[in-house]
Structure 1
Amino acid sequence: MPSNDNIIHIAIEFSTSVWLVGTRLPGAAKSRMHRIDAGDSKALLTLVGDLRARRVNGLDQVAQLVCCFEAGRDGFWLHRLLTANGVLTYVVEPTSILVNRRARRAKTDRLDAEGLLRVLAAYVGGDHQVCSMVRVPTPEEEDAKRPHREREQLVQDRTRFENRILALLATQGIRQRPSLRTWERDLNALRSGDGRAMPPHLLAELHRLRRRLVLTMELIREADAERTATLAAAPDEAASQKVTILQRIRGIGENFAAVLVREVLYRPFSNRKQLASYVGLTPTPYQSGTMDRDRRIGRSGNPRARTTMVQLAWLWLRYQPGSALAAWFRTRVGTLQGRTRRIAIVAMARKLLIALWRYTETGQIPDGVAVRARA
């Protein structure tokens, strides 16, 4: 880690219209603020060039540039740009920064930039507990996440259109949606709860919703076909191999396997604690005096992967009833329902994630798991 005596710290506070760039020279008591248009990478590189040309401590010694900014809607392109131009760049996890707990905390872009400069100086100085830094994926890893994330959005759109159709029909006393295959015939035969024909404007809206629903379903099938083709095009790729071996386990389909691999299992983990923490399935400790217990899960990790694992845990009970994990759940919960069952399924999701990680890394099949025959 470089010494702070020879470092120019740079912090960028983003907004949709203006970027506020805070800089602090070695030994300086105050920082300087520079305003540039949002997305103006040329102006930012010009500022970086001016800072690089400075001499520090009155010597012919070129300072090292270290930059940070918060992870957000701008993604990681700026990290790659600055890194390619010789600037050591960090991406800060925004929720990991400690803040003043006063009820009315002042909030300005300048104060945020000053705070980022202090955090950066502490982190570079060796205090890695002051915040968490994001592991920046490669462009290929980032692009590989797009198919299942697009599919997730399309599934949400499909559900929204279906619910809207049902809600409009419910206003007329109709509880069942017409079939998409025989839409025209079924819709014309419908009568409201008081025996009237469907109003014309409502019919027009329903027809448009049906077209949007059909289009969304076609896009979902197109996304599924593209995912299958991508997997078949590179069968020797490490991520593709992990997707393939996960699908051998009964109850894990291509979509669940792709989400787990592209969101979680493509990364290296040293131990199971790191894995569970990344997904956000670890409990939050609470210790004060004689009280020492675990509270609810932290939810500080990948929310998409966490949701997928909880869904997969429920499916595991159905498709893998003879596995050791399903037996553990039945022994632990028994016939209890409600909150106890929901808490236990989260604990099982954590155990299942660790078991699948070991399976993809070492080939060790979880105890009692039924697998499909090889293709």
Structure 2
Amino acid sequence: MLHDHLKHPTAIRVQFGAIFVSLELSRKTWLITSLSPGKGEKMSKHSVTAGDIAGLLARFSELQRKAAVRTGKSFPLIVIQEAGLDGFWVHRVLQQEGIESHVVDPASIAIPRRRRRAKTDKIDGEALLRALLAYKRGEPRVCSMVVAPSPEEEDQRRLCRERDTLTAERVRHVNRIKGLLFAQGIADYMPLSRNRRKRLDELCTGDGRPLPQYVKAQISRELDRLELVLEQIKVVEKERDRVLLSLAPVVVSMGPEAVCDQPRRASGVRMLTALRGFAADGATKLWSEGLSRHFSNRRQVAAYAGLAPTPWQSGGISHEQGVSKAGNPRLRTTMVQIAWLWLRHQPQSALARWYFARVGVGATKARKKVAITALARKLLVALWKYVSAGELIEGAIMKPVA
């Protein structure tokens, strides 16, 4: 039998100096779970319609009023919510109202490990509140709070992400056109060539017939959508280069002196593009997804990318489960791609030599996959030191200055 509470608890009772609130956000309702001074351990639960900020603030005022009536004192509010589909707009509204707000990574909160675990908004709200209490008590590693980006930083990330979305859409249109033609015995048509329209009119099936009427009409409409996507990619790339590759003065932020964001952004991206093997796409994506953020140490850098190791050890059993994959998936994918390019364009660097020495001659694909992931983690840390502190990467070659 499990005992969640002792009959005579020996723990020291904590006198709350604030009203602690957790928000469980969904598309229809927001569940408010609160713990106020003067109510003991009883958690109150209320709900408001999703998106009703006025109702939420009114409920907060009511909680403060009732706490003042019970104790004769006024208390501040401390609010926690999960990082999710709602983004950070609720967090920003609360901060504008002078309320202390925290956004937590939901995967960092400990949960029961029973095979069938009960999960409801009520249970999740109470778990959030307990995590907030432990965090404010100063308990180490109780949860991981998310650092909310500024609205400008969040908006600028859309440029690289929209380009990835459009590129995937371009691939789908090209593959659909090639699939339609392959079913007719045609395998040499290139949808991305400049003479794609003229070439379409000249096509014949594998058995010598003209291209069927409706197949040709469908491919023509696919080409219309493909050309629209190609034009949008050009517009996004032009805007991305204008914003992230602007020719502002290069000012590297080192030391306590504060610098404005524009010179820092320009210097970081331009420092990356100065390395051989880095083009505008890889440099801007790496900067906007990871290196533009503040990290205290190399472990935080690797953890944010999901490239941190995940050991499994119990008694005499110990093995490695691979990388955690708990961070930014876009940054992780970008770093693996950059790691392969680094081997091609920077083979004389210390990191590339480490990879070749580790893999050896005749290595299997599985061994190369493990090694390239380790190289991606090492390279990300080295690039972070390079753009943040100006520490040169050993053996790396810079592009010739035009």
Q: Which TM-score applies when normalising by structure 1?
A: 0.94
More deviation, 111-120/275-284: 111-120
Pairwise CA distance, 1:329: 1.2
Pairwise CA distance, 1:373: 2.4
Counterpart contact for 1:6–1:56, Cα < 8 Å: no
CA distance in 1, matches of 2:289, 2:388: 16
Counterpart contact for 2:48–2:56, Cα < 8 Å: yes
2:105 pairs, out of 93, 96, 105, with 93
Counterpart contact for 2:305–2:326, Cα < 8 Å: yes
SS in 2 for 1:174: coil
Pairwise CA distance, 1:327: 1.4
Pairwise CA distance, 1:201: 2.0
CA distance in 2, matches of 1:254, 1:355: 19
Q: Is 1:373 the equivalent of 2:364? A: no
Deviations 1:121-177 (A, max 9, x none): 222222242321111111122122121111111111111111111222222222233
Counterpart contact for 2:23–2:125, Cα < 8 Å: yes
Counterpart contact for 2:36–2:67, Cα < 8 Å: no
SS in 1 for 2:98: coil
Q: Which TM-score applies when normalising by structure 2?
A: 0.88
Pairwise CA distance, 1:93: 0.7
Aligned residue runs from structure 1 range 302-313, under 5 A: 302-313=328-339
Residue number in structure 2 paired with 1:144:
156
Pairwise CA distance, 1:233: 5.9
CA distance in 2, matches of 1:199, 1:102: 60
Task: Write the letter of the residue equivalent to 1:268.
Answer: H
Pairwise CA distance, 1:103: 2.5
Deviations 1:34-85 (A, max 9, x none): 2211111111111112222233584321122111111111110111111111
CA distance in 2, matches of 1:101, 1:224: 47
Counterpart contact for 2:22–2:125, Cα < 8 Å: yes
Counterpart contact for 2:311–2:320, Cα < 8 Å: yes
CA distance in 1, matches of 2:174, 2:319: 44
Residue number in structure 2 paired with 1:59:
71
Q: Is 1:14 the equivalent of 2:28? A: no
SS in 1 for 2:16: helix
Q: Aligned in 2, Cα 1:362/1:133: closer, same or farther, shift over 3 Å?
A: closer
Deviations 1:195-252 (A, max 9, x none): 3332222212111111111111111111111122123264452021010011110101
2:229 pairs, out of 205, 212, 216, with 216
Deviations 1:349-375 (A, max 9, x none): 111111111211232321221111234
Residue number in structure 2 paired with 1:352:
379
More deviation, 349-358/173-182: 173-182
Q: Is 1:228 the equivalent of 2:237? A: no
Residue number in structure 1 paired with 2:172:
160
Q: Aligned in 2, Cα 1:325/1:192: closer, same or farther, shift over 3 Å?
A: same
Q: Aligned in 2, Cα 1:125/1:363: closer, same or farther, shift over 3 Å?
A: closer
1:281 pairs, out of 296, 300, 307, with 307
SS in 2 for 1:343: helix
Aligned residue-pair number: 373
Q: Aligned in 2, Cα 1:264/1:184: closer, same or farther, shift over 3 Å?
A: closer
CA distance in 2, matches of 1:178, 1:136: 44
Which structure 2 segments of 5+ residues have no match? 1-13, 251-262
Q: Is 1:331 the equivalent of 2:342? A: no
Pairwise CA distance, 1:89: 0.9
2:199 pairs, out of 171, 176, 186, with 186
CA distance in 2, matches of 1:90, 1:240: 30
Residue number in structure 1 paired with 2:35:
24
Counterpart contact for 2:82–2:105, Cα < 8 Å: yes
Deviations 1:304-355 (A, max 9, x none): 1111110000011111122121111111112313100011001111111111
Q: Is 1:40 the equivalent of 2:52? A: yes
CA distance in 2, matches of 1:315, 1:345: 11
Of all paired residues, the percent bearing the same amino acid is 43
